[in-house]
Amino acid sequence: MLIQVQKLKLDIETAMLELNQILRANEINFAVLAALPALLFAMILGWLLRASLSTSKGAEGRGRVAGLRRRMLLAEVERIILAYQYLEEQGQEEKMPWHYGMIIYLLNQFYKAVERHAIASGEWSSLRGDILDLANPKAGMIHKLAITARVERIYECIVPPRPK
């Protein structure tokens, strides 16, 4: 009888240890599950905050800073055209495709930046034609430089008139 009681006591202690291990493992699970809603909330809040901060329109927006960015895009187009013309004069044809690609890329950025403002001001059809002329691979670089000067000079959606 004593042996049976001791064996039963040992079995109970073993079962209690196993139960204790199971409870410890579940304690970690419950802690993780308790923190999960807070973690999920923080992730959603961070995603919303990032989305709200990254809606900057850059050169497409309104205001003085957006106007400055549009002018800087046009200046960058002009600078790349000058570099392309220099390469053409020097006969460095291996670098010319890269520069022409940059011209097209910058014109695309410029197109996107001024489209809404030019439509609102009624200058879109003329400005769009000038941008397409700048993208024309058959047009000469001197002609393209004249177009960039004209675009910078006459379109109010790019350079608004200065108050007197």
pTM here is: 0.58
In the chain the first and final C-alpha atoms are separated, in Å, by 112
> pLDDT truncated to tens, each residue of the chain (164 aa)?
878 888 888 989 999 999 988 888 888 888 888 888 888 888 999 888 887 776 555 555 566 777 788 888 989 999 999 998 898 888 888 888 898 899 999 999 999 888 888 888 888 889 999 999 999 888 888 899 999 988 888 888 777 666 66
| Domains in the chain: boundaries | 1-55, 58-154
For residue 139, what are the contacts with CB-CB under 8 A and spacing of at least 6?
133, 147
CB atoms within 10 A of CB 87: 18
